[in-house]
Chain A
Amino acid sequence: EAQVTQNPRYLITVTGKKLTVTCSQNMNHEYMSWYRQDPGLGLRQIYYSMNVEVTDKGDVPEGYKVSRKEKRNFPLILESPSPNQTSLYFCASSFAGSYEQYFGPGTRLTVT
């Protein structure tokens, strides 16, 4: 089944404890992206990757890191999480031709 998977789906952590949210797709998509969704603010793009080793900032990159070493994986790293990073995070992927995005199920992160 073609899909985008994210792990973990739920995470509660404490301020300053480094964490990684994984994203993997099995559709051979070139493009991958991370978003956060907050009430009243909608979905905002954090980082995106046009292909392996090619990443760029979205609208809200502060406090996040990404890497794209393999085509199928695009992990999101929070080196020192803070409470304002409490949010619902989505990973998405698409072919570079159409850019029709397919989304993962989301990761709900709470930072206390």
Chain B
Amino acid sequence: KQEVTQIPAALSVPEGENLVLNCSFTDSAIYNLQWFRQDPGKGLTSLLLIQSSQREQTSGRLNASLDKSSGRSTLYIAASQPGDSATYLCAVRAGTTDSWGKFQFGAGTQVVVTP
């Protein structure tokens, strides 16, 4: 069964510092990987989606990389701001036909950016 791990569980950085968030998965047979942001008591907001054939995706200050062979994805947030404070989750979609619609989520990394 696919296991998705996010380390660290929590992270505090001063404003302006770059953020590096990690996501690891045990089964490299994935269809895609998606990064989300969740604010307290709110739903999930999609940040970036990386298909299994891609190595990275970029949107503004965000960059996500994917290394399927090593089972890792990294989300980089450049020049962090207090508004980036949230919990960041990664989700992996199974790449095998018998689990086509299944997703596994990591437990998330809670980020605090201090002014």
Given the complex, which residues of A lie within 8 Å of B103, measured CB to CB? 33, 45, 48, 58, 101
The bracket for how many chain A residues form the interface is: 20 to 34
Given the complex, which residues of B lie within 8 Å of A33, measured CB to CB? 101, 103
Q: Are B43 and A105 in contact (CB under 8 A)?
A: yes
- Complex Cα–Cα for A48 and B102 (A): 8
Q: Are A44 and B105 in contact (CB under 8 A)?
A: yes
Nearest CB of chain B from residue A60's CB, rounded to whole Å: 12
Given the complex, which residues of B lie within 8 Å of A56, measured CB to CB? 101
Q: Is A31 located at the chain interface by the 8 A CB criterion? A: yes
- Complex Cα–Cα for A98 and B49 (A): 9
Q: Is A79 located at the chain interface by the 8 A CB criterion? A: no
Q: Is B29 located at the chain interface by the 8 A CB criterion? A: no
- Chain B 61-115 interface residues, beta-carbon cutoff 8 Å to A: 89, 91, 93, 100-108
Please report whether the interface of chain A is mostly helix, strand, loop or mixed according to DSSP. strand
Interface size in chain B (residues, C-beta < 8 A): 23
Q: In chain A, what residue has the closest Cβ to B48? A: A100
Interface residues of A (CB under 8 A from B): 31, 33, 35, 40-45, 48-50, 56, 58-59, 90, 92, 98-106
A and B contact pairs by CB, cutoff 8 A, 22 listed: A33-B101, A40-B107, A42-B89, A42-B108, A43-B91, A44-B105, A45-B102, A45-B103, A48-B101, A48-B102, A50-B101, A90-B43, A90-B44, A98-B32, A98-B51, A99-B31, A99-B32, A100-B34, A101-B44, A102-B46, A103-B46, A106-B42
